[in-house]
Structure 1
Amino acid sequence: MTPAYFKAIFREIWRSKARFISITLIIFLGVAFYTGIRATGPDMLQAADDYFNRQSLATNSVQSTMGLTNSDTQALAQHASQVTYQKVKYLDVNQLNNNRVVRVAELPATQKLNKLRVVSGRLPQKANEIVLDTQAQRLQPSLKIGSTYKIVSTKALNQKFKRRTFKVVGFVNSPRYVENVSRGVTTVGKGTLDYFAYVRPQTLKLNVATRIDVQFKNLRGVTPYTAKYKRLNRQNTAKLKRWLKPQAKLRQTALQKQATQKIAPLAQATAALKQQVPAGTAQLVKLETQLKAAQAQVAAIKTPTYIYTDRSDNPGYTEYHENTQRVVALSTVFPLFFIAIAALICLTTMTRMVEELRLQMGTLKGLGYSNNAVGSEFMIYGGLAALLGTGLGVIFGVNFFPKFIAQAYGSMYNLPAISVQYLWTDIGVALAIALLCTLGTALVVLRVDLRSLPAQLLQPKAPKAGKTLLLERWTGFWRRLSFNHKITLRNLFRYKQRLLMTVLGIAGCMAMMITGFGLKDSIGDISTKQFNELWHYDAIVTRTGTETKAQRTTISKPSLYQASLALKSAQVTIKKGGVAEQTATLGVPEHAANLNKFVTLRSRTTHQKYTLSQSGAIIDEKLAKLYGVKVGDTLPIKLAGQTTKTIKVAAIAENYVNHFVYLSPSYYRQVFGKQPIYNSNLVQFTNKSEKRANAYANTLLKQTGILNVTLMSTEKNTNFKMFDSMNLVVLIFVISAGALALVVLYNLTNINVSERIRELSTIKVLGFYDGEVTMYIFRENFILTGLGIILGCFLGNWLHAYILQTAETNALMFSPGIHPISYVYSALLTVAFSLIVMVMMHRKLKHVNMLDALKSVD
């Protein structure tokens, strides 16, 4: 090929720059979406992996029902070449002065594992200093660096601290808690932790360690969540159990020895008295009775149970991975959906380009150019558009979408910002798809023309023949149509490829906009439905045990009080193969018939109301989905410190946030073999004043036996604030879909005008005004847009349902409905884009050179 030929190619690019830019822009949008969203999941995983390595997150943890001693650490010290370990002492405290449940732990002198990440301030250096979880600042905004922090709990717990007043010197994050809300369960207070705090060593009066964290060295450098990591972790856990297995018996023996030493004076006193007084003496009988009771207690000391956990037992750790997998699942379908639309438009555009350049192709073939040389113009044209669109799309997509989506998830996790990485396999796939869209479609279209003779190519292609429509047989309807409307209908069915491309393109864009608005509806409805339709109480009061008269008076006396329901409330864990361990709230109302006044238990689809039965439990819909259970199936649940029990599912109720299991008192007795202790109250208020609610909570906390007051208004404000950032994801959907819709409409309309320029010039010569000429084209566009909108509604409904199912977290269920107004917004935006294109095309049609357009080559 000569330099003159290359010059002709670049002249063609400049001459048809609008088409070249539109192809490039379509490729850009498709590639940006594909590579950007495909990179998001791996980027989020890489950020977590780097963070866990940097902070030395433990791979395993060990706890014991009787604490852990130096003997246990000595057993691990024998395997120091394989593990790093660290003892931890902590106490869970129900704070009566700020209504929070806090885990107070001693900071090791040297942090080997689970290193804290300082967000602000510094770590404690003196005995009177403390650092708090960043979650504490969110729950208690008054806490700042320099603030005084007091621990005020029950008398028994207070005595386990050497000091209880501290100065806050920093706020930290722990790699053990990557979630922004959940801090795990406890046997103290309401059953869930609010945040953690770290103090200097020797602050807690504990003789044994609460937990030993372990990190196996063979897992360093192994990517978390992978099959290799899981395989090695199983082997490591088996080793850990084998190493510590003898410790249980040793601990029992040591405890029995200690207890025997304590009662030794009693035994000696009894033996001495036996020698001094006759048998049966009252004093001797008393001592012998006390000795037997003490010896029985020594004999009753059981072998302690060692509890082994690993990272997968940490809900935050596991759910973060599951969320990244959801993003990966979205990246498999949604971008391909986007690229499919781009491919359809590229096919139409390249087809039109080949038809426009038939005369040039015939001339080149007549001059002796080979088929390869003639076709290379289209290859270079399409290849340049594909390369430019791919390059820009990769740069924009990889640098923008992962950060944007991770920022939305960042409201749920406290991990550091992600680092961008280029996934060359996905970039290669994107480039291949882009080249297929341009070069592939060009080859398909060229295959006929390149076989044609120069004489055939030098003749203009015959226009498509008109056909009689089925509508024309409906003579009563057809006669009433104007000439323009008849022409519009005939042209629609005359250019079937354009009809199909336009309808599918608009439907795809409409579907993505509906999905975006639908996600906003689904997220926004969670709060409304959960707090307004399903929960009808304003506070949860947690007590030490059965409600006393004084507590009942304190709860019901304030004027804010309206009604209350006593119930047993506890946290249960549910674990089943293949699903991350879930935490649910167990509720057993004292008067089951009154539960529906405080909680609506109903079917989400039919709104049928449920009542508690004597032969089964009511669980939430999301929990049922996670474990694949239906009505009549069983589910294993475990209360802290007890063995796993199995419950039968009597009904599955609508719920959107967290998990619950409701049992009637009689069914609770049947499952657990004992009477429930009603340790909580659901309380309704007469009004929603936040100030009065806080005053009510403060009053209750002064009453002996009341451990915690959870205000639902606070829960709503804190737990649902994170959903605001999900609007960013919705914005991505709407803007991306809108941009694609605009490009699709412009491209197809431009092709339509180019194809029919002689026809349009003819009607202008016949005296049609500019507005009439524009409507000649856009009457068809409006009909096609309308058909695309209708099809897009069905497509959008399906895509929205798919994305909801993919994007839900384990503890959250989105509301599946789309508001009718969202369909209206999507349709109006699509029509608005169509009008923008109409204005642009109107200006172009006003300046059509009719003489050039009507020149004949015959």
Structure 2
Amino acid sequence: MTKSYWRVLWREIGHSKARFISIMLIIFLGVAFYTGIRATGPDMLQAATDYYADQNLATNSVQSTAGLTKKDLAILHQHRDQLSYQAVKYLDINQLNNNQVVRVAEMPSGSLNRVTVVSGHLPRRANEIVLDQQARTLQPKLKLGSTYRIATTSALNRQFNRRTFKIVGFVNSPRYIEKATRGVTTVGKGTLDYFALVKPGTLTQTVASRIDVGFKNLRGVTPYTAKYKRLNRANTAKLKHWLKPQAAKRQAQLQRQARAQLAPQVAKVQALAQQLPANAPILTKAQAQIKQAQAKIAAIGRPTYLVTGRAANPGYSEYHENTQRVVALSTVFPLFFIAIAALICLTTMTRMVAELRVQMGTLKALGYSNAAIGSEFLLYGGLASLLGTVLGVGFGVNFFPRFIAQAYGSMYNLPAINVQVIWADILIALVIALACTIGSALLVLRVDLTSLPATLMQPKAPKAGKTLWLEHWHGLWNRLNFNHKVTLRNLFRYKQRLLMTVLGIAGCMAMMITGFGLKDSIGDISVKQFDQLWHYDAIVVRNGSQTAQQRRALHRQSLVKNDFVVKQAQVTVERSDVANQTATLSVPQHPQNLTQFVVLRNRQTHAAYHLNNRGAIIDEKLAKLYDVQVGDTLPVKLGNRQVKRVRVAAIAENYVNHFIYVSPSYYHQLFAATPVYNGNLVQFTHHSQKRQNAFANDLLKTPGMLNVTLLSTEKKNNFQMLDTMDLVVVIFVVAAGALALVVLYNLTNINVSERIRELSTIKVLGFYDGEVTMYIFRENLILTGLGIFFGCFLGNWLHSYILNTAETDSLMFSPGIHWVSYVYAALLTLAFSLLVMTIMHRKLKHINMLDALASVD
């Protein structure tokens, strides 16, 4: 290629800067979105992988219903070539002085599950304690150097050698990567609020509560992968096999210990039998007590050993699912950008080829080959693609992963991500970008390069006019003025431009609707869940059935308007193909009065559901996760009991967490036991936060009261993290807006360039500048309106798809979009159209009519 050739290329770029920049911007937006969002999922996974490795997160945990002894540790010690392990002692308590359920654990001696110190330091003395970072969120008064006091029931207080500590640090644990969730417990309301770590020797218990295990064959294996799952299944099977004989040994040990404790009593009774007649009442009573004790010893069953993997850790599986949702978004959302970019590039390159027909004919006449002539267009498009790709990759992989990870950062205790360069995605993006421009150029050139020079050197004949179907509608057509008739003729005359503009605007409109719709779907959760479905203000949890003293204490509170007695327990829904879900099992004492406190209804029809003895009512999200319909069964595990198959009688509207409602009779059918009504749903007369806190603190002073959960606090905690989704909404709206602006500008610029002779002619005929602009703007306005119309339907579909991929397991978004969101999206699109026409108006005012009307004949 000669210098003259390159000079012609640079001159063409200089003469058509707007076109070159618009192609580059289209490619930039498409590539930035594709590479950026595609990199987000892997970046988030890599951050988790590095964190698990740095903190040496255990691969498995072992628990037992009878605690874990040194003999259990000895079994694992035999296989120390395959694994490392550490024993952990902990005690779950319900803090009566702050209404929180806390897991107090002794610092283990091993290196597994290393905590990250956020501030302060780890305990160095017996009177020092470190708290979960989540404790700061729940109790802002907790600070370094302040005193922390354990104040729970008398029985649990006795299990501590000391109960007053100095707070010396706040930490995060790799077992709990999710900020808000700490798992379930059998204490208080059934869920943990945070954990605390103390020096060994603080607890009086002699057995371990849990053994953490780290298998060496999983070091360096990426979590969540098929290889990790395969090895973990084999490791779990090994653990169960090794520990299986321990159940019978532990049973025998417990029986021996119980007999040893009973032996002095037996000796006393035997001595008493030698001193008293056989039928003496004291002797008979003592012998009966001994028999009862011996029967209890004989009834001591084999303890259950529970071996779990990392999936049992709160947030572990959900984090992976969230990254997969981002990956799912990265496969559909950038496609809109790429498809629109391809359409616009095709239109732009078509116009460029049409503008340079004379030059092509001249070059052909001078003897240049088709390859040499076409290479100008290929280089023009390729250079725009290359620049757009380089800038798009640089911006996308550095901005979008950090931006989206920041949105999820409010939900997880993970370090900031490190940006990765995924060359495969970059290569794909470059190929797509080049296909959009070079491919479009080749598509357009296939006809012109085969034409004769004489044909190319003549202007292309304008499209022949056709009779519109509207002209047959005489009542309408005859009422239109000249300008309106011309506008309609031009719209249907240039069908390609009509299609491209409508599709481009519809795609941008769809993405803006999706952005605003996400905000609606998130915001509606709070209103629907806490105002329409739940009509109570607090949940009171007791240690058993309600006593007269507890009822008097509850109704002594002036804040209480009404209450409803229920049984509430945390259950686990288990199935191998779905991550385990924690659900609240609710059994109302009087099901007929449940509707005053909880609305169970169909989400679409609002038809009311009522409990019966033929099945349970479950929430919609739970049904969706496990793919169950009415009449199917759901595998539910209550505590350490066997999994029960619960029949689904109805699927009710619900948005936050999981719930399973059953009647007392159906509960008895399932678990062969009468429900113990351990809770109250309470309605308040006022909603002052100060009065609600005072109510909780006062009620917890009553013996047997374990926990008071205020829905105002739950609402605040649940939706604080959802506020960060606004960042994702901003991405949708800003990106879609930028694309809409570029699309409208590009297509309008092409429209003006194509019709420059026509516009110059009407200016010569005396049309004012404003009339000339309106000549074009009327068409743009109609095309924008059509794009907005079809974009509404496309946006509704895209919104539904995004919701299905972006939801977390414990959350269901409200599927509706507010009408005002459609209005906002439409107004923004119209505003972009007006902005483009304002820019075009300035260009039209400075048209050189003589040059434009000059003929090449």
TM-score, length-scaled by structure 1: 0.98
**1:44, 1:701 → 2: CA distance?**
42
Q: How do residues 530-549 of structure 1 correspond to structure 2 at under 5 angstroms?
A: 530-549=529-548
Query: Is 1:173 matched up with 2:172?
Result: yes
Deviates most, 315-324 or 794-803: 315-324
Q: Per-residue CA shift, 1:325-378, capped at 9, x if unaligned?
A: 111111111111221011100000011001111111111111111111111111
| Residue type at the aligned position of 2:749 | N
Among the aligned pairs, what percent are the same residue? Answer: 73
1:96-135 equivalence runs, <5 A? 96-108=96-108, 110-135=109-134
1:92-149 per-position Cα deviation (integer Å, ceiling 9, x unaligned): 00000000000000012x4411110111111111111111111111111111111111
Task: Output the CA distance in 2 between the equivalents of 1:679 and 1:283.
Answer: 38
CA RMSD, 1 decimal: 1.4
CA contact 1:315–1:582 (8 Å) conserved in 2: no
**1:413 aligned counterpart, secondary structure:** coil
| Partner of residue 62, structure 2 | 62
Q: What is the SS of the residue equivalent to 2:609?
A: coil
**Greater shift in the superposed pair: 44-53 or 540-549:** 540-549
Could you tell me how far apart the structure 2 residues matched to 1:373 and 1:53 are?
57
Q: Distance in 2 between matches of 1:774 and 1:183?
A: 63
Determine the structure 1 residue equivalent to 2:571: 572
Answer yes or no: is the 8 Å Cα contact 1:315–1:581 preserved in 2.
Answer: no
CA-CA distance at 1:286 after TM superposition: 5.6
Residue type of the partner of 1:95? Q
SS in 1 for 2:402: helix
2:593 equivalent to 1:594: yes
Q: CA deviation at 1:275?
A: 6.9
Whole-angstrom distance in 2 between the partners of 1:242 and 1:673 = 31
Alignment pair present for 1:757 and 2:740: no
Kindly state the Cα deviation for residue 549 of structure 1 after the two structures are TM-superposed.
1.6
How far apart, in 2, do the equivalents of 1:773 and 1:337 lie?
33
Residue identity matched to 2:204 = K
Alpha-carbon distance in structure 1 between the residues aligned to 2:178 and 2:83 = 27
Q: Is the 8 A contact 2:177 2:314 kept in 1?
A: no
Secondary structure (helix, strand or coil) at the match of 1:304 reads: coil
Deviation at 1:287, TM superposition (A): 5.6
State the match for 1:471 in structure 2: 470
Matched residue, 1:238: 237
The DSSP-based 3-state class of the residue aligned with 1:179 is coil
Distance 2:733 2:333 in 1: 13
2:619/2:651 contact within 8 Å kept = yes
Is residue 35 from structure 1 mapped to residue 14 from structure 2 by the alignment?
A: no
More deviation, 255-264/711-720:
255-264
Q: Distance in 1 between matches of 2:540 and 2:22?
A: 62
User: Partner of 1:25 in structure 2?
Assistant: 25
Contact 1:466-1:494 at 8 Å conserved across structures: yes
Alignment correspondent of 1:11: 11
| CA deviation string 1:568-616 (max 9, x = no partner) | 1111111112111111111111111111111111110001111111222
Give the secondary structure class of the aligned counterpart of 1:550: helix
Name the counterpart of 2:50. 50
Shift of 1:525: 0.3
Instruction: Say which is worse superposed, 466-475 or 383-392, in terms of deviation.
Output: 466-475
Residues 689 and 278 of structure 1: is their aligned pair in 2 closer, same or farther, counting only changes over 3 Å? closer
**8 Å contact from structure 2 (residues 62, 212) kept in 1:** yes
Return closer, same or farther for 1:285/1:535 CA change in 2, 3 Å cut-off.
closer
What residue is the counterpart of 1:203 in the other structure? 202
| Aligned-partner Cα distance in 1 for 2:120–2:220 | 31
Between 216-225 and 299-308, report the one with greater CA deviation. Answer: 299-308
**Shift in Å, 1:256:** 2.4
Aligned twin of 2:74? 74
Matched residue SS, 2:478: helix
Give the aligned partner of residue 155 of structure 1: 154
Secondary structure of the residue aligned to 2:137 is: helix
How is 1:436-515 mapped onto 2 (pairs within 5 angstroms)?
Answer: 436-515=435-514
Give 1:100's aligned amino acid. Q
Query: Which secondary structure does the structure 2 equivalent of 1:480 belong to?
Result: coil
> Partner of 2:315: helix, strand, or coil?
helix
| Cα separation, 2, equivalents of 1:313 and 1:281 | 57
Alignment of 1:202-221 (within 5 A): 202-221=201-220
1:315·1:580 contact (CA, 8 Å) conserved in 2?
no
Query: Does residue 821 of the first structure (1) align with residue 844 of the second (2)?
Result: no
Question: Aligned letter for 2:194?
Answer: Y
Q: Kindly indicate whether the alpha-carbon contact (under 8 Å) linking 1:567 and 1:681 is maintained by their aligned counterparts in 2.
A: yes
CA deviations over 1:715-771 (Å, ceiling 9, x no partner): 111111111110000000000000000000000000000000001000000000000
Distance in structure 1 (CA, Å) of the matches to 2:111 and 2:324: 31
After superposition, the Cα gap between the structure-2 partners of 1:740 and 1:198, relative to the gap in structure 1 and judged at 3 Å, is: same
Distance 1:94 1:501, change over 3 A: same
Distance in 1 (alpha carbons) for counterparts of 2:426 and 2:560 = 62
Conserved in 1, the CA contact under 8 Å of 2:350 and 2:444? yes
CA offsets per residue over residues 33-71 of structure 1, 9 Å max, x none?
011111111111111100011111110000111111111
**Partner of residue 95, structure 2:** 95
- Counterpart of 1:652 in structure 2 is 651
CA distance in 1, matches of 2:92, 2:763: 85
User: Taking structure 1 as reference, are residues 291 and 558 closer, same or farther at Cα in structure 2, changes over 3 Å only?
Assistant: closer
Deviation at 1:802, TM superposition (A): 0.6
TM-superposed deviation, 1:249:
2.0
The Cα shift of 1:282 comes to: 6.3
Distance in 2, matches of 1:89 and 1:523, equals: 40
Are the aligned partners of 2:85 and 2:110 in contact in 1 as well (CA < 8 Å)?
A: no
Residue pair 1:132, 1:170 contacting (<8 A) in 2 also = yes
Q: Distance in 1 between matches of 2:169 and 2:128?
A: 9
For residues 290 and 824 of structure 1, the distance between their equivalents in structure 2, rounded to whole angstroms, comes to 79
Contact map agreement 2:182 2:314 (CA 8 A) in 1: no
The 5 A counterparts of 1:329-728 are 329-728=328-727
The corresponding residue for 2:262 is 263
Structure 2, unaligned stretches of length 5 or more?
A: none
- 2:142 counterpart residue number: 143
Structure 1: any 5+ residue segments left out of the alignment? none
Corresponding letter in the other structure for 1:46: Q
Secondary structure, counterpart of 1:185 in structure 2: coil
User: Once the 2 structures are TM-superposed, how far is the Cα of residue 260 of structure 1 from its aligned partner?
Assistant: 2.9
C-alpha separation between the residues in 2 aligned to 1:282 and 1:708?
Answer: 45
Q: For 1:530 and 1:548, how far apart are their aligned partners in 2?
A: 31
